[in-house]
Amino acid sequence: MVPHWGIDCPTGPLIMNMKVLFDSSDNPHPEAYVKKCVTAFGRSYSLTVQEIIRETEDRIDEAIFLSNAAKLMSNFKMTRRGPFKGVGFSRGKAFDNEHRILSKSWNAIEKTVLDLKNFLISRPNADRKRILVEISEVERKQVAEKMWFMFKRLLTMYE
């Protein structure tokens, strides 16, 4: 079963099957609409996401993954209880918890993350900001499959 993401946008709630950038007809949402949706999550979230995008522009590795995951989870208050309790980010440094949950997460998806990153940066003439819109439908499906594989891998770790 594909999870549904409910995103409250200024224009009303959206329920999508893993389609954040595309409508139900697989047409890309206008950039202004996507910006409105992201802004609806709040300034702090938007700044965190922009920073994460900048930090992963050239490369991604375990240290970058841990740092970005800790920032994002702290921003969403996901580190107070559950499997991520104890994960943190302070003074520019990420802290994994006693169970090393972020390190285990990276180890579970590292190969797929790196494959996906290499695939996306190898697309000729693709603007990074709109790469998912500019690649072919077949390539978008391949990206979605890789993403779904990683999500399933991570979900089974936290059950």
Largest CA distance in the chain: 44
| Tokens representing residue 28 in the block | 């890309």
User: Side chain identity at 32, as an amino acid letter?
Assistant: A
Domain ranges of the chain: 68-157
DSSP count for the chain of H helices, then E strands: 6, 4
pLDDT string in tens for the chain (159-residue length): 333 333 444 444 433 333 457 777 878 888 888 777 767 667 777 788 888 888 888 889 999 999 999 998 887 778 888 888 999 988 888 989 899 999 999 999 999 999 999 988 888 777 777 888 888 899 999 999 999 999 999 988 876
Contacts of 115 (CB under 8 A, 6+ apart): 146
